Amino acid sequence: MRLHEAPSPNARRVHIFMAEKGIDCPRVTVDIRAGENIQAEYLGKNPAGRVPVLELDDGSFLAESVAICRYLDWMQPEPRLFGAPGIEAATIEMWNRRAELNFMANVAAAFRNITGFFQDRETCVKEWGEVAANAASRFVGMFDAQLAKTEYLAGDHFSIADITFVVAWDFARRVKVVPLPDAPNVARWHSLIASRPSYKAE
Ligand SMILES: N[C@@H](CCC(=O)N[C@@H](CS)C(=O)NCC(=O)O)C(=O)O
């Protein structure tokens, strides 16, 4: 098994997940800046042209960071990061989707459209980026209110939802295109997540 990746939020999701599970595998760096991920050879691995991609021992490829995490979870069920079947797993799914769709996707759209980072391969619309930045900013309140009630994003236990949100949060802080409002409960939660050894996984 090999992980095709580049320094990026979605690859970091898989790195943290792997560290939590105690799984490691060789890495192959994909030069996304130079567009290696949109060349024919890479598109054969992932027709969506994105990182990360997990290459399996039978020569097949698995893309989409959460799908990769699902596969790793099947390989190594403990610790349970997708929750116990039933309401726990469903609640984790709910918060993971909120972290991804309401926050991470808006942060990514803001970054891509405002900075024009990938303008060699897509049309960037600054106004759209600003709309996305404001949407990401507005959703911070939803996460802060949840974290006022629960220790981790989806309840009492660390989960994939925490991984998605911390990766997106750190990226938003680093690229500075989203105005992040004061969020004391997110700050409390961030210190908790940052104290886990997996937070430093690369
Ligand atoms: N939904 C995908 C998103 C993957 C994605 O957007 N990856 C970014 C890096 S975080 C990428 O490959 N960007 C290169 C490009 O857009 O050309 C996943 O979860 O893996």
* The pLDDT of residue 5: 98
Q: Are 125 and 113 in contact (CB under 8 A)?
A: yes
Angle at 131 between CA 129 and CA 135, to 5 degrees: 115
Q: Could you tell which of 10, 96, 111, 167 is best to mutate to test the pocket of ligand 1, judged by most ligand atoms within 8 Å of the CB?
A: 10
Kindly state if the Cβ of 46 falls inside 6 Å of ligand 1. Answer: no
Q: Are 66 and 10 in contact (CB under 8 A)?
A: no
Angle at 81 between CA 80 and CA 86, to 5 degrees: 75
Which domains are seen in the chain, by residue range?
Answer: 2-75 (3.40.30.10), 87-196 (1.20.1050.10)
Q: Give pLDDT tens digits for 58-97.
A: 999 999 999 999 999 999 999 999 999 999 999 999 999 9
Q: Give pLDDT tens digits for 159-187.
A: 999 999 999 999 999 999 999 999 999 99
- pTM, to two decimals: 0.97
Give me the torsion for CA of 108, 176, 167, 53, rounded to 10°. 40
Q: Give pLDDT tens digits for 24-49.
A: 999 999 999 999 999 999 999 999 99
- Per-residue confidence band for 23, with pLDDT thresholds at 50, 70 and 90: very high
Q: Residue 78: helix, strand or coil by DSSP?
A: coil
Question: Does the pLDDT at position 130 exceed 90?
Answer: yes
* Residue nearest atom 11 of ligand 1, based on CA coordinates: 50
